[in-house]
Amino acid sequence: MANNLDPHYLVALMNYQFRSGQDGSARRMDPPSHLTSGIVDHHGTNVRTLPILDALAHISVSQPNSQVIAIALQLKPDTKEIRLTIAENRDVADSLVNHLYNIWRKLQALSDEYAGQRKAEWDGEQMLSPVIPLDVALPLKMEIFREVYKFSLEKQKKRVNKWFRALCDFMEELEKRRVGVALEGFERNLSNAMVSLVLALKLVFKHSENQLTDDEWEQVYWYSMIANKDIKLVLADRHGLGCDALAQELNGDGDGDPFQLQRALEKLISLPRHIESLFGFAHSPRLRSALQYHLTICAVPGQAQIVILPTSQEQWKSLLEAACGQPGQCQRNDARKLFQRFGSRARKCPVHCECGLIQYLQTKHCDSWDNVPAFSYIGVSKLSCSACRVWIEAFNMLGGPKFYTRGSHGKWYWPWVMPTMGVGSLRENMAGMVLDEYLMQLEKKEQIKRAGSDSSGASPSGAEHGVSNTDEQSIRVEAAAAVQEAGGALSGLISDNVQFLHANVPHSEG
């Protein structure tokens, strides 16, 4: 049955079915046990490459809306060459390519600084990187931080606009609930992180043209890295359940869902977290070879295709009956709503970056990289949509190279289109897998019954790359002084600064 159905029609159906939420698929995937073509021939080391590729994709985002980046890695050890292939849902700007070259050069310099400190102390057999004082190459780390933050500033503004005010309200409510009681453990870490975030963001958005002095950028660095350290402790509490428990407690019997505390913290600290991953890359002796190779960056041209969905309510009804294998009143109602939702016009649909990147890697370009296998993990700036997740799974069924991303956010987007390589068995695999997910959704809603249907309901370790104890104590003293100046309570610091931040962070749609 699936062979006769257009997978794009089925993706549109899923977009309709999950128009108000996610499909419940796992947000994150465990690192695959069979990674291939990594930087070294060692699985444990290559797993450490996963967050590095995601970090490079993350720091490549500069636009506040609708920009997603995917990055692939290839190496030629014999000629000491490394290539990053980068894709967007549209053409890649030259400014992005130049930004990555700039950051890569600085990471090479940072790696050299670390290697000079390491000298002969590392024998190559130790699993963990040797400890190096945190103040080594500090000016260079601050320079990398500043360059990344400035490039991604507009995106950071959107994150602040979306999450910061609600987080402030949450923290003020927490302080009310704990009045007269000193915060301890998890909640103390959360409060400390909030103070550092307020002070960092106040500096970042102090000037409309972002003309911070070197001293001000240094303060942003310290506050951001301290906040990152505290938030890592918060997110690790009870393996991530601490945030959910606290949000549920503060929500009480209130209407609506609890505040998404974990998500807010992850979003607001995302830049420092990914920058720290890059510091770890430069620090690693096992991964150093990659930063000694000659880098080239290849930009994948954006792709789009015209898709015409069923052009009448009757055509939608016929499609639904073919998909379900049985007629019913629900198909007539859904057909009417589908036609109202999508209309009859042709849509120009983008090929999403991770799918376009895989197509590019599997296409011959008559150059020296044609026969160099890519690392099987693709770095992404954002979790893959469900259609891309299924397409990659369908591609991996073909028996050739396999690719993975860090997971899916469970949303079905429209417009969406397969790459032009999506023909034959790949197209059939895609259609069959999407159809199966569609029918499972109908079963859950008890709109159909299928005979014999069967429903079923990597964190790398190593050296620290944050701040030294001495620097941390100094920054915490400054943060405590700021709280005291605001009346001795977190709510006072928030009320003094949240209005300023709200006024200086432009509202961004989307």
Judge whether 75 lies within some domain. Answer: no
Task: Share the mean pLDDT of the chain.
Answer: 86
Q: What is the pLDDT of residues 74-85, one digit of tens each?
A: 999 999 999 999
Using only the alpha carbons of the chain, give its radius of gyration: 25
Give the pLDDT confidence of 427-476 residue by residue, as tens digits.
999 999 999 988 888 777 655 444 433 333 334 444 566 777 788 888 88
Which residues are 75's β-sheet partners?
82
* Domain-located, residue 461: no
pTM given for the model = 0.89
pLDDT tens by residue, 167-196: 999 999 999 998 888 888 899 999 999 999
- How far apart, in whole angstroms, are the C-alpha atoms of residue 249 and residue 257? 12
Residue 251 lies in a domain: yes
Segments forming the whole domain that contains residue 246: 153-270+471-505
What is the per-residue pLDDT across 131-178, written as a single tens digit (0 to 9) for each? Answer: 777 788 899 999 999 999 999 999 998 999 999 999 999 999 999 998
pLDDT-derived band at 117 (thresholds 50, 70, 90) equals confident
- 3-class DSSP assignment, residue 341: helix
Residue 488 lies in a domain: yes
pLDDT at 70 over 50: yes
3-state DSSP assignment of residue 39? coil
CA angle 234, 173, 168 (to 5 degrees): 65
Residue 249 domain flag = yes
The answer to whether position 95 is within a domain reads no
In a domain, 186, yes or no: yes
**Whether pLDDT at 3 is above 80:** no
The structural domain count of the chain equals 1
Q: Is residue 359 part of a domain?
A: no
- Count other Cβ atoms within 10 Å, centred on residue 320: 24
